[in-house]
Amino acid sequence: EIVLTQSPGTLSLSPGERATLSCRASQSVSSSYLAWYQQKPGQAPRLLIYGASSRATGIPDRFSGSGSGTDFTLTISRLEPEDFAVYYCQQYGSSPPIFGQGTRLEIK
Amino acid sequence: QVQLVQSGAEVKKPGASVKVSCKASGYTFTSYGISWVRQAPGQGLEWMGWISAYNGNTNYAQKLQGRVTMTTDTSTSTAYMELRSLRSDDTAVYYCARAPYYDFWSGRVGYFDYWGQGTLVTVSS
């Protein structure tokens, strides 16, 4: 079973800054089958990115995903106040689908 | 618009069972699968299993085999998840999520594009 390790655990930034979140897999993720989700307190997760770099429907273009193999990155180019949340990566290149432990993005 | 609306919060005693519903609208129910994902308080996300809304085929997480059953009712576009022999560590928010992709050869479940609002299940004596 693949293990996903997200870093950092918490990221403190200010609105307008650039955020870079990392997701590292214990073994190669087949065909870049990696997704990213955003979760705000008391809400369900929301799909942001699938296939490592494809934005989901309605996701602003300040969100971008990149990477392949074992190293993946979610970048938020200019943080808006509503972007402060917890972010999870998920691999679906092998069964079962596994989530990372999350990165909390907080306002500095 | 795609919506998944789940049933309300439940409080159960250890050893009991719980059945959570997830009513879908805004898309052709039988064209997609449904997965269930749970989140213990303050913790991350754990995939529980998948069901095809087309033919009822299932794929459960190994750790829940024998305790979980997922079903669908195509006449009402509703998916159900039943968890038996509840323990305190089953206390969590349970989410249903639409799964647009499933590989029948490998049993590989894809990503989850729409989610229900979540159902809190509390297991306490």
User: Band of the pLDDT at A32, cuts 50, 70, 90?
Assistant: confident
A98 close to A5: Cβ distance less than 8 angstroms: no
Chain B CB contacts of A102 below 8 Å:
44
Residue A24 CB neighbours (<10 A): 17
Q: Confidence class of residue B110 from pLDDT cuts 50, 70 and 90?
A: very high
Task: Give dist(CA A19, CA A69) in Å, integer.
Answer: 22
Nearest Cβ partner for B108 among A45, A92, A99: A92
Apex CA A101: angle with CA A98 and CA A106, to 5°?
Answer: 140
Average pLDDT of span A36-50: 98
| Mean pLDDT confidence for B17-44 | 97
Q: Is B110 on the interface with A (CB under 8 A)?
A: yes
Residue-wise pLDDT for B78-87, tens only, equals 999 999 999 9
Q: Band the pLDDT of A31: cuts 50, 70, 90.
A: confident
Inter-chain CB pairs, A–B, below 8 Å:
66
Mean pLDDT across chain A: 96
Q: State which residue of chain B sits closest to A33, comparing Cα positions.
A: B110
pLDDT one-digit tens code per residue, B69-104: 999 999 999 999 999 999 999 999 999 999 998 888
pLDDT-based confidence at residue A69 (cuts at 50, 70, 90) = very high
Q: Do A50 and B111 touch (CB under 8 A)?
A: yes
User: Residue B1: how many CB atoms within 10 A of its CB?
Assistant: 6
**d(C-alpha B103, C-alpha B81), whole Å:** 21
Q: Does any CB of chain A come closer than 8 Å to the CB of residue B61? A: yes
Quick check: B110 and B101 in contact, CB under 8 A? yes
Per residue in A74-108, pLDDT tens? 999 999 999 999 999 999 999 899 999 999 999 99
Chain A residues within an 8 Å CB radius of B109: 92, 95-97
pLDDT band per the 50, 70, 90 thresholds, residue B105? confident
